[in-house]
Structure 1
Amino acid sequence: MKVLSIQSAVAYGHVGNSAAVFPLQRIGVEVLPVYTVNFSNHTGYGAWRGPMIAPDDVRAVITGIEERGVLGDIDVVLSGYQGGEGIAEVIIETVARVKAANPAAVYACDPVMGNARSGCFVAPAIPVLLRDRVVPVADIITPNQFELGYLTGTEPSDLPSTLESVDRARELGPRTVLVTSVERPDREQGTLEMLVADDEGAWIVTTPQLPLKANGSGDVTAALFTAHYRETGSAAEALARTASSVFGLLEQTLASGQRELQLVEAQEHYAHPRMEFEPRRVR
C-alpha cells in the first residue's frame, strides 16, 4: 500500500506527518509525505518557529512526484492540518490527479480545525473550506465530535444525535465517517469512545479515558484507521485495530511522564495490537 500524506511536520514532537508517517511505516505502508508547514514544534506550546509552506510550493512537490510516474501507484491520499488557506485547492487538485491515474484510490480527510475544549485553532477560513470544498470530495473523513458538529451544523451529544450527525456528514459526500472522540453523557464514567459508519452499518468502541492531553493522537488515529480500512475493507476491524494501537500508545505515553507522544517507543502496539477492545454494532 502507498499513501500520499499531505500534512504538517514538526521537528520536535509528533503531530501531522511527524505523527502519521512512522506508525504507517511500522505496519508496512509506504508513505510519501508532503508538508504543509515545517514548524519547530506544534502550536499547542504557544510559540513556534519555521515556515508555513506556500500552496505553490506544496503543488510543486506533488508535481515532482507526478513526474516520477508514481501517482498511479498511490492507493490513498491522506490530508490533515492544512496551514494556509490555499492548501485546500492543492489537495482537491491532487486527489483528482491521483484518481485519474488510479481510479481505485481513495481520499481520507482528517478535517483538523479544533476541539470542544480549545475551540477552533486554525485560520477562520479553514473550517469553511473544509466543509464546502474539501470534505465533499473525500471518501473517508475522521473528525472529532466538535469537528463533526461544525461540518454538519449540528450538536452531537448522545448516541442518536451523533449517528444523525454522521448521516448528515455522509450526505456531504464521504461514504465512511470515523468520529475519533465521542463523549456522550450516558457513557460509562472514565471511558472514551470512537464510532465509525459506512454503507455496511455503524460500530462504536469503548476504551478507558486516560488523564492526558496528547497532541497528535488524532493524526495517528486517522492514519492507522485509513490504512487498516483500506487493507481489510471492514470498518469494524479497522476500528478495533486502531483503538487498540492508539490506546497502547497513549498508555505508554502516560507512563513515561512526557508531554509528547512516545511514538517510537510504542511501535509494537501498531505492529501487534493487543485487540482488547471489541466494537459494538449500533446500527
Structure 2
Amino acid sequence: MKILSIQSAVAYGHVGNSAAVFPLQRIGVEVMPVYTVNFSNHTGYGAWRGPLIGPDDVRDVIAGIEERGVFPQVDVILSGYQGGEGIADVILDTVARVKQANPEAIYACDPVMGNAKSGCFVAPAIPVLLRDRVVPAADIITPNQFELGFLTETDPADLETTLASADLARATGPSTVLVTSVERPDRPEGTIEMLAVTDDGAWIVQTPHIPMKANGSGDVTAALFTAHYRRTGDAADALARTTSSVYDLLERTHASGERELQLVESQEAYANPRLQFEVTQVR
C-alpha cells in the first residue's frame, strides 16, 4: 500500500506527518510525506520557528512525485491540519489527479478545526472551507464529535444523534465517518469512545479515558484507521486495531510524564495491536 500524506511536519515532537508516517511504516505501508509546514515544534507551545510552506511549493513537490509516474500506485491521499486556504486547492487538485491515474484510490481527510474544550483553533475561513469543499470530496473523514457537529450544523451528543450527524456528513460525499472523542452523556464515568459509520453498518468501541492532552494522537488515529480500513475493507477490524494501538500509545505517553507522544517507544502497539477492547455493532 502507498499513501501520499499531505500534512505539517515538526522537528521536535510528533504531529502531522511527524506523527503519522512512522506508525504507518511500522504496519508495512509505504508513505510519501509532503510537508505543508516545517516547524521546530507544534504550535501548542506558543512559540515555534520555521517556515509555512506556500501552496505553490507544496504543489511543486507533488508535481515532482507525479513526474516519477507514481500516481497510478497511490492507494490513499491523506490530509490533516490545513494551515491556510490555499493548501485546500492543492489537496483537492491532487486528489483529482491521483484518482484519474488510479480510480481505486481514496481520499481520507481529517477535518481538523478544534475540540469541545478549546473550541475552534484554526483560521475562521478553514472550517467553512472544510465543510463546503474539502469534506464533500473525501471518501473517509475522521472528525471528533465537536468537528462533526460543525460539519453538519448539528449538536451530536448521545449515540442516536451522533449516528444521525454522521449520516448527514456521509450524505455530503464521504462514505465512511470515524468519529473520535465521542462523549455520550450516559457513558460510564472515566470512559471515551470512537464510532465508525459506513454503508455496511456502525460500530462503537469504549476505552478508559486517559487524562492528558496529547497533540498528534488524532493524526495517528486518522492514519492507522485509514490504512487498516483500506487494506481490509472491514471497519470493525480497523476500529479495533486503531483503538488498541492509540490507547497503548497514550498510556505509555502518560506514564512517561512527557508532553510529547512516545511514538517510537510504542511501535509494537502498531505492529502487533493487543485488540484488548470490544467493538460493538450498533447498527
Give the TM-score category using the shorter length.
over 0.9
CA–CA distance in structure 1, aligned partners of residues 52 and 160 of structure 2: 40
The aligned amino acid for 1:10 is V
TM-score (norm 2): 0.99
Q: Deviations 1:66-101 (Å, cap 9, x if unpaired)?
A: 000001100000000111110001000000000000
Q: Which shows bigger deviation, 35-44 or 236-245?
A: 35-44
Runs of 4+ deviating beyond 2 Å: none
Structure 2: gaps spanning 5 or more residues: none
In structure 2, what is the equivalent of residue 59 of structure 1? 59
- Deviation of 1:252 (Å): 0.5
In structure 2, what is the equivalent of residue 251 of structure 1? 251
CA–CA distance in structure 2, aligned partners of residues 183 and 43 of structure 1: 26
In structure 2, what is the equivalent of residue 185 of structure 1? 185
RMSD: 0.6
The aligned amino acid for 1:175 is S
- Deviation of 1:104 (Å): 0.3
In structure 1, what is the equivalent of residue 21 of structure 2? 21
- Deviation of 1:180 (Å): 1.2
In structure 2, what is the equivalent of residue 38 of structure 1? 38
The aligned amino acid for 1:255 is A
- After superposition, residues 170-249 of structure 1 pair within 5 angstroms as 170-249=170-249
In structure 1, what is the equivalent of residue 159 of structure 2? 159
CA–CA distance in structure 2, aligned partners of residues 223 and 269 of structure 1: 14
Alignment partner of 1:89 is 2:89: yes
CA–CA distance in structure 1, aligned partners of residues 236 and 145 of structure 2: 19
TM-score (norm 1): 0.99
Alignment partner of 1:266 is 2:266: yes
CA–CA distance in structure 1, aligned partners of residues 120 and 41 of structure 2: 19
- Deviation of 1:155 (Å): 0.6
CA–CA distance in structure 2, aligned partners of residues 212 and 125 of structure 1: 29
- Deviation of 1:21 (Å): 0.2
CA–CA distance in structure 1, aligned partners of residues 115 and 43 of structure 2: 14
- Deviation of 1:43 (Å): 1.0
Contact 1:142 1:178 in 2 (8 A): yes
CA–CA distance in structure 1, aligned partners of residues 148 and 65 of structure 2: 32
CA–CA distance in structure 2, aligned partners of residues 145 and 52 of structure 1: 28
The aligned amino acid for 2:86 is G
CA–CA distance in structure 2, aligned partners of residues 128 and 267 of structure 1: 36
Alignment partner of 1:126 is 2:126: yes
Contact 1:253 1:261 in 2 (8 A): yes
- Deviation of 1:123 (Å): 1.0
The aligned amino acid for 1:78 is L
The aligned amino acid for 1:86 is G
- Deviation of 1:134 (Å): 0.4
Q: Deviations 1:214-253 (Å, cap 9, x if unpaired)?
A: 0000000000000000011000000000000000000110
Give SS of 2:85's match: coil
CA–CA distance in structure 2, aligned partners of residues 219 and 48 of structure 1: 20
Give SS of 1:167's match: helix
The aligned amino acid for 1:12 is Y
Contact 1:36 1:81 in 2 (8 A): no
CA–CA distance in structure 2, aligned partners of residues 121 and 47 of structure 1: 15
In structure 1, what is the equivalent of residue 98 of structure 2? 98
In structure 2, what is the equivalent of residue 115 of structure 1? 115
Identity across matched positions, percent: 79
Alignment partner of 1:76 is 2:76: yes
Q: Deviations 1:147-170 (Å, cap 9, x if unpaired)?
A: 100000001111111011001000
- Deviation of 1:261 (Å): 0.2
Contact 1:178 1:194 in 2 (8 A): yes
